[in-house]
Amino acid sequence: MIEKYVVTTAIEETWPKDKEKIIFLGEWCKLHSRKKYWEDLDFEVLDYHWNDRQKLENDYKYLIDLHERVLKIMVYKMNDLHEVNYNMIYWRILIGPWLGTFIQTVFDRWEMIQSAIKSNYKLQSISLEENYSEWIPKDTDDFYSLLQLDGWNSFIYNQIIKIHRNNFSTKKIKIKNTKKIKSNFYKSNFKEKIFQIYQFFAKKINSNNSSLVITSYLGIIDELKLSIRLKQFPLLLNFDKVSKIYFDENKRKWKLDFDSKSSFENFLIKLIPFQIPKIYIEGFKKLVEKSTKLNWPKKPISIFTSNSMFRDEIFKHYAGENVEKKIPLIIAQHGGHYGLGKIFFSEYHELSISSKYISWGWNVGLIKSRIYPLGSFSSKRAPFFKTKKTKLLISTVTYPRYSYSLASEHISTQWLSYFKDQIIFINKLIKLIRDSVIVKLYPIDNGWNQIERWKDIFPDLVYDTGNVNIQEHYSKTKLYLVTYNSTVFLDCFRLDFPTVIFWDPNYCELRDSAKSIFKDLKKVKVFHESPDSAAKHVNEIWDDVLGWWKSEEVLKAIEKFNNNYNKGDKDLVYRLSNILQQKN
C-alpha cells in the first residue's frame, strides 16, 4: 500500500521534510506566497467535499436539524452549570450563533478527514503538541477570528485524527511558534471614550420605557430622525465588553447527555465542553454583571438592531432576558444575500430569534406574518458625476480559506473557481475596455494573496485595495460589474447606476422564490451566469451604456427587482418608528 502524509493546514512544520508523497486536504494548505516551495513537492489535493452541491444542500438540512437537537440539550446544561432557569429563546439568542457555526465548521473538517481515509492510502500525519485551553475562544467574536487561523484548524483536525488512530500513523512535534494569536482584549481609543461619555448622559436622559436601538445600519441622518420620533437620544453603538476571562479547567468537566446518531455527533458532543467560548462558562457571571451596569432601558418597549445579534455578547444577554419577558426583539436585514440565497445560516438564525423582522422588500416563507418588507437601510448616496465617466469598475470578493457559516456562495477552496471566472471575463474584453478596468479588491484577503494573484496575470491593471472612496469611483465609473450576490449590486440598483452582475449559478444558488425575477434580469442582460456572456454583453454596450441601461425593458426589470427585494421608501423611518412602538 502506498504511504502518504496527510497535510491539513498551511503550517509547514507539520509537512514532511523529505520527499515523501503528500495529500493536501485542500487548497487552503498551499499559500500562494509559498508557491515556489510547494510546487516542487510530490502531492495531490483532495477534492473539496462540498463541490457536490447536492451534498451541501443535504448536509445543511442535516446540520440545521443537529443544531436544533444540540441546542435543546445545551439549554438544560447551561441552566444547570450557572444555576439559572432561562428558557430556549434566551440560550438561542446568546449561544446560537456560536453553536450553529461551530457545528458547521467541525462537520466540514470531519468530512475532509473522511475523504482522506477513503483514499485507500497508508496515511501518516504530523501533529503539534498543544494544550486545548490555548484554542478556547474568549467569545463569539474571538471564535470567528480563531477559526480562520491555520493553528486552530490544525488543532481541530488533530482531534479528529486522534479518534481515527487506526487509519493514521501519527507523530507529534513541538515548535516554538504555532502562529497562534491571543484574544484581542478591547481597548477603546480617544474618540470612543468621548462617545462613551455622550452615551453615559444619553442613557441617563432616556426613559426606562424607551426602545433600545443599537447598531441599526441606518445612516446617521435617518438614525437621528428615528430618535426624534421615538423621543430619545440615539445610542448608535455598544462599546462595552466583558474584561479578560481566565480559563478554569474545573468548569470544563461536564458532559452533554445527548443521543448521538453517528460517530461525528459523538465526537462533536465530546468537543463542545472544551471549545465553547469562555464568556459562556468562566465569564458568564461577569457577562450578567456587566449587562446590569449598562443603564439600558429596564422595561424597553422594544429592542431593535441590524448588527448586534451575532458578536455582541452583552446585547445578546440583554435581548434574551427581555424577550423572555415578552419584549419584542426586532431585527433588520443588514446587507445582501437575504431573501435570495438558497442557503443562508445567518438569515435562519435571525428569523429564529426575532419577534418581527424588517426586510428590504422580500416576504416569503412560513413566517410571512412576522416579516415587514419596509425597504433598504443602506445609506449610500446617489453618485455625483464631476468627471467624464470612462471606467469599468469590477467589484470582487474573497471567501475564507476555511469554511464556517454556510451560505449559497463559493465555499473555501471554491474561491479559486470564482477567481478563474474573473480572469476569463477580463480576457474576453476588447482592449479598449480592458484598459479602462479598475479592479476593486475585497478588503479582507482571507489568506488568498489576491493582489499577488491578480498582478501575476494582469500586472498593468489598476487595483483599488480599499483606499478609494466609493463616491470617487461612482464619479468616474461608466459601468459597474458586480461578481457576487451582495449588497453592492443592491446599492447600484437603488441608485440607478448602470450595473451588470454575473456569478456561477452552480455555486451561488438562488432560492426558488427568486428565480423568476432573476430570469427577467437575465433576459435584459443585467444578470449573467458566465464570464463569457457578461464580457460579450459589456463589449456590445460599451459605446452606449446608458442607452442600454435606460431602455424600457431594463428599467422595468430593475423596478420589479427593487419592488421585491430592494425597496426605496421615503417614509421608512416613520414606518419603522411605528413598528418599534407597537405593543405587540
Within 274-381, strands assigned E span: 303-305, 329-332, 356-359, 371-373
Q: Cα angle vertex 25, ends 23, 30, to 5°?
A: 85
The C-alpha cell that represents 13 in the structure block: 512544520
Contacts made by residues 363-367, CB under 8 angstroms, sequence distance 24+ = 364/339, 364/511, 364/513
The burial class, CB within 10 Å (0-12 / 13-18 / 19+), for 325 is exposed
Write out the chain's pLDDT in tens, 584 residues.
Answer: 789 999 999 999 999 988 899 999 999 999 999 999 999 999 999 999 999 999 999 999 999 999 999 999 999 999 999 999 999 999 999 999 999 999 999 999 999 999 999 998 999 999 988 888 999 999 999 999 999 999 999 999 999 999 999 999 988 887 765 544 343 334 556 767 777 777 777 777 777 778 999 999 998 899 999 999 998 888 878 888 898 899 999 999 999 999 999 999 999 999 999 999 999 999 999 999 998 888 789 999 999 999 999 999 999 999 999 999 999 999 999 999 999 999 999 999 999 999 999 999 999 765 778 999 999 988 766 665 556 899 999 999 999 999 999 999 999 999 999 999 999 999 999 999 999 999 999 999 999 999 999 999 999 999 999 888 888 888 899 999 999 999 999 999 999 999 999 999 999 999 999 999 999 999 999 999 999 999 999 999 999 999 999 999 999 999 999 999 999 888 999 999 999 998 66
Backbone phi, then psi, for 44, in 5-degree steps?
Answer: -130, 155
Q: Which pLDDT value is given to residue 434?
A: 97
CA distance 170 to 162: 9
- Residues present in the chain in total: 584
Q: What is the pTM of this model?
A: 0.94
Count of alpha carbons within 13 angstroms of residue 567, beta-carbon side: 17
Rama region for 411: left / alpha / beta (φ>0; ψ in -120 to 50; rest): beta
Q: Which pLDDT value is given to residue 471?
A: 84
Residue pair 439/464 in contact (Cβ under 8 Å)? The answer is: yes
Cα dihedral: 473, 377, 485, 51 (round 10): 130
Q: Which pLDDT value is given to residue 185?
A: 39
Q: Which pLDDT value is given to residue 88?
A: 97
Which residue in the block uniquely carries the three cell numbers 469598475? Answer: 393
